[in-house]
Amino acid sequence: MKIGNVEIEKTAALAPMAGVADKTFRELCKGFGAAYTVSEMVSSKGVTMGDRKSSELMAVSEIEHPAAVQIFGTEPETMAQAAISALKMNPDIIDINMGCPAPKIVKGGAGSALMRTPELAGRIIKAVTSAVDIPVTVKIRSGWDAEHINAVEMAKIAEDNGAAAITVHGRTKEQMYAPSVNIDIIRRVKESVSVPVIGNGDIVDVFSAAKMYEETNCDLIMVGRGALGCPWIFQQISAYLKTGNIIPDPPVSQRMLVMLKHIENLCSERGNRIGMREARKHALWYTKGLRGSAEYRRQLSTIETIDDVKRIAFQIVKDNE
């Protein structure tokens, strides 16, 4: 499929997840076959004020392409300036976040709060699409709450203001990440616009991936929480969609090797102190469902060195294989 002039394999993309989908994780998922990656959301105000952390979040590595930088905010001109600044990182696409349900984002009127202000959302999209010469996409939710399901309206506004594609997370802001995703609203958005639509929500295996494609006719699917501790999901989805073959989850020994490589790369990228702090949550996801996981999770929540991780990983393999 294509977003503007950007070709993307029609398998599965990695969703932008704040505090999780950093460059190290995106590169890992790309290595396992993610068709497209999107950065963690970046504050447009932070970018325009020269905030170092915001600039770091926009970094896109060579192996990620095709890749997008995602920005959020409420001021059209500031968003446009942030998009222009993001071009320095050489992304293929600029993505606008209009779906984040986090209270601190919504409180400031950004993220999914923009589902309640469609006119402002349109002006933001127009400002960004007018400012850059690469495709601009928009990520939305089904609506603010059950009484205000307006994804179709928002999608049309996005298209009318120059958006090259629209990602729909099939839940409202009030629903956060439960209950089950509303497949129907994604299908309705796909039927209402001519630009590509990306389906997002509850894709956790090859069957839910195929279901999203089949029941919505979307152009691409996006995996978020389903990739946590399971980056090989992209390889599995790709194989299933192309051949119908089901690749089993890797054995525990391989799973631990992936975890170790992930954590080593985190520490190499961000330094041992920050890297190990970030590694703890990933280590918990990698060990979910394993025999003795409660005790492993207790130990992994306090890891401080790679040697700590290796020691625990060795014991996990010994106990589970």
Phi-psi region at 73: left, alpha or beta (left = phi > 0; alpha = psi -120 to 50) = left
Q: Is 60 exposed, middle or buried (0-12, 13-18, 19+ CB in 10 A)?
A: buried
d(CA 121, CA 115): 8
Which H helix or E strand runs over 13? strand 12-14
Write the DSSP string, 266-314. Answer: HHHHH-HHHHHHHHHHHHHHHTTTSTTHHHHHHHHTT--SHHHHHHHHH
- Residue 228's closest CA among 255, 264, 248? 255
Active-site residue, selected from the candidate residues 100, 218, 230, 267: 100
CB burial of 118-149 (b: ≥16 within 10 Å; e: otherwise) equals beebbbbbbbbbebbebbbbbbbbbbbeeeeb
What single-letter amino acid sits at 59? A
Q: Is 29 a catalytic residue?
A: no
Torsion over CA: 25, 27, 33, 38 (sign): positive
Catalytic residues: 100
